[in-house]
A and B are shown apart, each in its own frame.
Chain A
Amino acid sequence: MLLAVAVLSGFVMALAAPWLHRIARSTSGWVLALFPVALTVYFAGQAGRVAAGEVLAVSIDWVPSLGIALSFYLDGLSLLFALMISGIGALVVVYAGGYLAGHAHLGRFYAFLLMFLASMLGLVLANNVITLFVFWELTSVSSYLLIGFEHEREAARQAALQALLVTGLGGLALLAGLLLLGQAGGSMELSELLTRGEAIQAHPFYAPILLLILAGAFTKSAQFPFHFWLPSAMEAPTPVSAYLHSATMVKAGIYLLARFNPVLGGTELWFYIVTAAGAATMLIGAYLALQQSDLKRILAYSTMSALGMMVLLLGLGTELAVKAAIVSILVHALYKGALFLVAGAVDHETGTRDVDRLGGLRRAMPITAAAAALAALSMAGLPPLFGFIGKEMVYEAVFEAPTAVVLLTGVVVLSSMFLLAVAGVAGLRPFFGERASTPKHPHEAPLSLWLGPFLLAGLGLFSGLFPGAAGWLVSPAVAATWGQSTGVELALFHGWSPVLLLSAITVAGGLGLFAGRSACRRAASRLAIGSRWGATRWYELALDGINRLARAQTRFLQSGYLRYYLLTIIATMLGLTAYTLLSRAGLPVPQGSLQVPLYQAVLAGLILLAALAAVRLQTRLGAVAALGVVGYGVALIFVLFGAPDLAMTQFLVETLTVILLVLVLYHLPRFATLSTRRERVRDMAVALLAGGLMTALVLAAAAVQPQLEVSSYMADHSAALAHGRNVVNVILVDFRGLDTFGEITVLAVVGIGVYSLLKLRIRKGDRP
């Protein structure tokens, strides 16, 4: 139960955050951080039980008939993510308090941030697939709010919308995939589904399930070709980028892949799609990262590359690859979180994020510089940092890939060279070398700004020196991903092996790229592949296309002319009803004889003639008179067929109508011919078709024997129960009295409307 409280309390905290911020003022970041700290302590407290193989679960019924429950469970994989989310969350909340100090909407920012934290926890702890989806979408929504936090700027709004559209569309695909998965697996609970991998892989739905779930994972984790929203999302305030776009949200897709690895993984389809997407993303991200000069965009593209590497490893699906992937998740969260926070601190202190304008900051900002250097070395994969262990494991895993070893190794090594150069540009270059002049005079950042990067980078060093601690956290996660328990031995030195040689080559190549980065950037800008063929362009084309389509169809359907609305309605009704009638019953034929008494035939002819006259007559009075004849004719029909009440009412109403029409028409202009001949012919054709359809309907209805149970009840009981002999009247005032009351209300409203319209006097110049 505590598990559900841990997830849901975040939403309560989010509501309370603006209020707490108003009380705590400048210390609000520290105060609010107590909440994620408490969560971290709670999750860390469960680590022992989880490491022992225990699984915590809690379930609250939601829609039991559909198999939907608000259920959570905690295994090794969930625990690793939960600790990252709450731990880094605490640091980011503190950081935000310093970074956005004095911002008018800081309270709101905390609310969004905590809402995101709670959504993310719900996502990684969810057991029911619908619960998973709901929290998945909640992370999209809260990330929309966070990216668009500075909503006065158009760029921020567009970036937020772009991220929402891309991840939202992916979310829809994911929902479809999860529902199919539930069908194929016969359960909505993940813990159940995880044991039914073979049945699901043999199911005919397997391919669509896989493709749909991958669409969700790839959009969320910014895999090529859905990567473009991630660099745009750098419009967000830096704490958001550090939290969402490095450590947590973009890892949701990785989490999904890891989570479903035992169910969906291990097939050829999985291997080719996932590995290829990962490899492409890894290489493209690393290459693009080196072309950027904005610190945050550099980090965004390198994040994309790192995510690609994790996807690639999960695609390989070997035991070594899964281990390397899980270790990479932790490695990356530590160094990239730190580097983003450093980037924010640098921006905060110097007023610029342009790496070409930064340099030699180590004397002004020694603590930040130390944190940045440690994180950069970890990112570069140099010993004795945690990043080195991670990279060695990646190389080992790729080395033993099932196929295409040379190609994959080449991609990974090349990307790692680029990333090493990028680490130099983003983490070392601003702090070392010559002192460059910056818009603001830099000072060491306050405690709240350096605490986060310092702790994260320090953890990277600690985990590198004492890998056992990290291994204790990683191995239950690997067991959950791999599907069976397995030991994870983390060590700095793996012995003399080809892998070590590859590492040496990587370092040499990376240093070369670092030195030649300007030339590399110039060459790339001449090619300009991105702006011409990049995914952003496709996104814009698609968005424009959808908007243009919406405009065109709105202009077509919402023309503003009443007759076209009517025409559309009539044509639609005509098409649908005629189709149903003809396909179900065929063209109805008149039943019974056409022989009727002469007076009835005359009456019918009179009504039709009068209707024709009402249409054709060009004088107003003539048309009204013809309308009156139609009304009286209808009343006569009521008289003939046993409806005296209707006839009386009809005579009365028709008389009133004619009087009213004459009174009003007296003030209106004569009829003029307003439409062209072609329009009239078109309208006439439509009207005649609709009339013909109604005729056919009546003929078809005549073949159906009317059901008289209700009528017989009324006929039998109206005298006994309601003491009335006129059954129609009894129905109106007794059996269905409330309906009549409603009708009287309508008439009263009409009366008020008519009266006020007649009494209304609009003075000249008194425009409403």
Chain B
Amino acid sequence: MNTWMAFVIGGLYAAGLYMMMRRSIVKLIIGLALLSHAANLLIFTVGGLTRGRPPLIAAGETSLAAPFADPIPQALVLTAIVISFGVLAFALVLVHRTHQTVGTDDLDNLKATDT
């Protein structure tokens, strides 16, 4: 699956970066979202994929029995998911306000500070 994941990640990066280079501000945001997915998957995959062995300690045990999915990349990705949601939410509201105030969604018309 690792090889497959490598192509999924590469595809998501390509899609995300392409969308971020568009002039439409909404496409920029979609690109940002795709990029966060790509980054999360990257961390998750590089940490090693283990199928069906979540890092949960069974009742009555004191420690995890190998093999188990590495908990550290998971903790990192969990943080990343939440933070990227925060970024996305803030960016969306900002875009909304910008469009209300300036009346355009073309980034090329947003070069000056005067509206």
List of A residues within 8 angstroms of B18 by Cβ: 615, 683-684, 687
CB distance from A418 to the nearest CB of B (A): 60
List of B residues within 8 angstroms of A688 by Cβ: 14
Within 8 A of B (CB), among A556-615: 560-563, 566-567, 570, 590-592, 594, 596, 600-601, 604, 607-608, 611-612, 614-615
Is B68 in contact with A614, judged by CB distance below 8 angstroms?
A: no
Is B44 in contact with A627, judged by CB distance below 8 angstroms?
A: no
Within 8 A of A (CB), among B14-73: 14-15, 17-24, 26-30, 33-34, 37-38, 40-42, 44-59, 61-64, 68-72
CB-CB nearest in chain A for B106: A674
CA distance A695 to B19 in the complex (A): 18
Is A719 in contact with B17, judged by CB distance below 8 angstroms?
A: no
List of A residues within 8 angstroms of B99 by Cβ: 667-669
Is B86 in contact with A615, judged by CB distance below 8 angstroms?
A: no
Is B82 in contact with A653, judged by CB distance below 8 angstroms?
A: yes
Within 8 A of A (CB), among B82-100: 82-83, 85-90, 92-97, 99-100
Is A608 in contact with B7, judged by CB distance below 8 angstroms?
A: yes
Is A634 in contact with B75, judged by CB distance below 8 angstroms?
A: no
Whether A664 touches B96, Cβ cut-off 8 Å, given contacts A691-B11, A694-B13, is: yes
Residue of B11, B94, B111 touching A611 (CB-CB under 8 A): B11
Is B70 in contact with A698, judged by CB distance below 8 angstroms?
A: no
- Interface bin, chain B: 35 or more
Residue of B3, B8, B21 touching A608 (CB-CB under 8 A): B8
Residue A649 at the chain B interface, CB threshold 8 Å = yes
CB distance from A668 to the nearest CB of B (A): 6
Within 8 A of B (CB), among A746-763: 746-747, 750, 753-754, 757-758, 760, 762
Residue of A642, A668, A674 touching B95 (CB-CB under 8 A): A668
Is B20 in contact with A566, judged by CB distance below 8 angstroms?
A: yes
CA distance A668 to B98 in the complex (A): 10
Whether A649 touches B78, Cβ cut-off 8 Å, given contacts A566-B21, A614-B19, A715-B64, is: yes
Residue A54 at the chain B interface, CB threshold 8 Å = no
CB-CB nearest in chain A for B28: A562
Is A641 in contact with B11, judged by CB distance below 8 angstroms?
A: no
Is B71 in contact with A694, judged by CB distance below 8 angstroms?
A: no
Most chain A CB atoms below 10 A, which of B15, B22, B27, B52 = B15
Within 8 A of B (CB), among A669-685: 669, 671-672, 674-675, 683-684
List of A residues within 8 angstroms of B56 by Cβ: 644, 725-727
Residue of A638, A686, A726, A740 touching B55 (CB-CB under 8 A): A726
CB distance from B73 to the nearest CB of A (A): 9
CB-CB nearest in chain A for B85: A653
Is B41 in contact with A634, judged by CB distance below 8 angstroms?
A: yes
Tell me the interface secondary structure of chain B in the complex: helix
Is B74 in contact with A643, judged by CB distance below 8 angstroms?
A: yes
Residue A543 at the chain B interface, CB threshold 8 Å = no
- Interface bin, chain A: 35 or more
Residue A656 at the chain B interface, CB threshold 8 Å = yes
Is A683 in contact with B21, judged by CB distance below 8 angstroms?
A: yes
Residue A646 at the chain B interface, CB threshold 8 Å = yes
Is A675 in contact with B22, judged by CB distance below 8 angstroms?
A: yes
Whether A649 touches B81, Cβ cut-off 8 Å, given contacts A641-B50, A668-B105, is: yes
CA distance A694 to B11 in the complex (A): 9
Tell me the interface secondary structure of chain A in the complex: helix
CB distance from B93 to the nearest CB of A (A): 5
Most chain B CB atoms below 10 A, which of A653, A690, A727 = A727
CB distance from A654 to the nearest CB of B (A): 9
Is B30 in contact with A623, judged by CB distance below 8 angstroms?
A: yes
Interface-side segment among A34-42, A93-101, A293-301, A706-714: A706-714
Is B62 in contact with A719, judged by CB distance below 8 angstroms?
A: yes
Residue of A594, A620, A644, A715 touching B68 (CB-CB under 8 A): A715
CB distance from A263 to the nearest CB of B (A): 57
Is B8 in contact with A604, judged by CB distance below 8 angstroms?
A: yes
Is A698 in contact with B61, judged by CB distance below 8 angstroms?
A: no
Residue of A592, A696, A739 touching B79 (CB-CB under 8 A): A739
Is A561 in contact with B95, judged by CB distance below 8 angstroms?
A: no
Residue A555 at the chain B interface, CB threshold 8 Å = no
CB-CB nearest in chain A for B47: A706
CB-defined A-B contacts under 8 Å, sample of 19: A607-B12, A612-B15, A627-B33, A630-B12, A631-B37, A644-B54, A661-B29, A664-B96, A667-B96, A667-B100, A674-B22, A674-B24, A675-B23, A694-B9, A698-B45, A711-B71, A711-B72, A714-B72, A750-B87
Q: A-contacting residues of B (Cβ < 8 Å)?
A: 1-15, 17-24, 26-30, 33-34, 37-38, 40-42, 44-59, 61-64, 68-72, 74-75, 77-79, 81-83, 85-90, 92-97, 99-101, 105-108, 111, 115
Q: A614-B30, A641-B44, A657-B88 are in contact. List 8 more A-B contacts (CB 8 A).
A: A560-B111, A563-B22, A594-B3, A594-B4, A644-B56, A660-B89, A754-B89, A754-B90
